């Protein structure tokens, strides 16, 4: 099983049904295996579109969307969409191809320092160093993307970790042990190449690809906090609610949230992904003069809304 097959199997076990991409040779093994497993590979016209689509899946399903792009310019094209997901607190996984580990920093095709590019724009950026590390890294990516404040995660996938070991050794020019080296230089070169390949594929045959779905861990308020909020609401004469995207991280719970708002009977302003929560027309939904309403209110309830200039 090559690295691309391992990644696709773990994605399937995490409940991933779609991969969004603008395909490239660096990451082709992921697509081939994904299609065999029934994961739909959707090819877009631009890498940013692939990430925007993965972001949309995250918001609509509650399961992190996954985008896969090729190395270098394929990755740089995603920056706007990735930064948007970070600011929107939307969990997604971005898998990016990379030059072969042996050729990093040596002028290989589309080789750039991708980790330094992505670190300011994601919650976590990492590079796979060995095939046997793939299951733990992909599982951690799903966990980091969803834990605490959700956001995007970037995993760099070097090309020589995605293909079969025999093919990679052929690329490297590793000769059979039955072919004697012609001189001391060739002997040393073959030793070095073999040693590098052994590091990449060490333990690859003993990999456990079973992976339990990573469940989102959202904060739960204590009973005392709930009782305190209840008292504040009961005392308030002019309360209002502001509901934003953060309250919609579990879209399957939207009906419960809407029902709670109706029962409270508090005027509410909706923003971001919360728009439409109460339908097209609702007596509780306010659309204008929000600043004035906040100034005159004696209790403002923030639900999934960042405490910023908005």
Give residue 309's pLDDT band: very low, low, confident or very high (50, 70, 90).
Answer: low
Helix (H) or strand (E) holding 275: none
The reported pTM is 0.84
Q: For the chain, what percent of residues have pLDDT higher than 70?
A: 97
Separation between Cα atoms, residue 255 and residue 104, nearest integer Å: 50
Separation between Cα atoms, residue 66 and residue 157, nearest integer Å: 14
HSE of 291, CA atoms in CB hemisphere, 13 A: 3
Contact yes or no for 63/15 (Cβ under 8 A): yes
Helices 47-61 & 79-87, crossing angle to 10 degrees? 20
pLDDT at 218: 65
* Span 35-79, pLDDT tens digits: 999 999 999 999 999 999 999 999 988 899 999 999 999 999 999
* Span 182-225, pLDDT tens digits: 788 888 888 888 888 888 888 877 787 777 777 666 667 788 88
Block residue for tokens 């029902």? 259
**DSSP bridge partners of 116:** none
Token pair, residue 161, equals 């970790």
Separation between Cα atoms, residue 90 and residue 85, nearest integer Å: 5
pLDDT at 279: 87
List Cα–Cα distances, 35 to 29, 30, 31, 134, in angstroms. 10, 9, 6, 19
Across the beta sheet with 268-270, the strand order is: 268-270, 239-243, 299-303
DSSP-assigned letter for residue 285: B
Domain annotation for the chain: domains and CATH numbers: 3-164 (3.40.50.970), 223-303 (3.40.50.1220)
pLDDT at 307: 77
pLDDT at 159: 93
197: left (phi over 0), alpha (psi -120 to 50) or beta: alpha
How many residues does the structure list for the chain?
A: 310
HSE of 76, CA atoms in CB hemisphere, 13 A: 6
């Amino acid at each position: 099983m090559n690295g691309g097959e391992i990644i696709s199997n773990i994605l399937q076990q995490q409940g991933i049904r779609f991969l969004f991409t603008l395909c490239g040779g660096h990451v082709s093994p992921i697509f081939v295996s994904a299609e065999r497993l029934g994961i739909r590979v959707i090819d877009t016209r631009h890498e940013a579109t692939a990430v925007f689509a993965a972001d949309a899946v995250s918001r609509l399903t509650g399961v992190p969307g996954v985008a896969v792009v090729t190395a270098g310019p394929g990755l740089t094209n995603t920056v706007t969409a990735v930064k948007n997901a970070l600011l929107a607190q939307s969990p997604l996984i971005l898998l990016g191809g990379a030059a072969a580990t042996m050729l990093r920093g040596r002028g290989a095709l589309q080789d750039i320092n991708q980790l330094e590019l992505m670190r300011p724009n994601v919650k976590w950026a990492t590079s796979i160093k060995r095939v046997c590390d793939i299951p733990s890294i992909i599982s951690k990516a799903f966990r980091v993307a969803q834990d605490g404040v959700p956001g995007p995660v970037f995993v760099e996938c070097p090309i020589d970790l995605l293909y079969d070991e025999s093919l990679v050794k052929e690329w490297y020019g590793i000769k059979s042990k039955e072919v004697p080296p012609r001189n001391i230089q060739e002997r040393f070169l073959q030793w070095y190449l073999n040693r590098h390949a052994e590091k990449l594929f060490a333990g690859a045959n003993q990999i456990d690809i079973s992976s339990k779905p990573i469940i989102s861990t959202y904060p739960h308020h204590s009973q005392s906090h709930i009782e305190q909020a209840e008292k504040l609401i009961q005392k308030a004469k002019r309360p209002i609610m502001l509901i934003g995207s953060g309250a919609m991280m579990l879209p399957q719970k939207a009906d419960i949230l809407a029902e709670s708002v109706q029962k409270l009977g508090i005027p509410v302003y909706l923003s971001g992904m919360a728009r439409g929560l109460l339908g097209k027309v609702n007596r509780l939904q306010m659309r204008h003069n929000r600043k004035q309403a906040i100034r005159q209110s004696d209790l403002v309830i923030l639900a999934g809304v960042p405490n910023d200039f908005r």
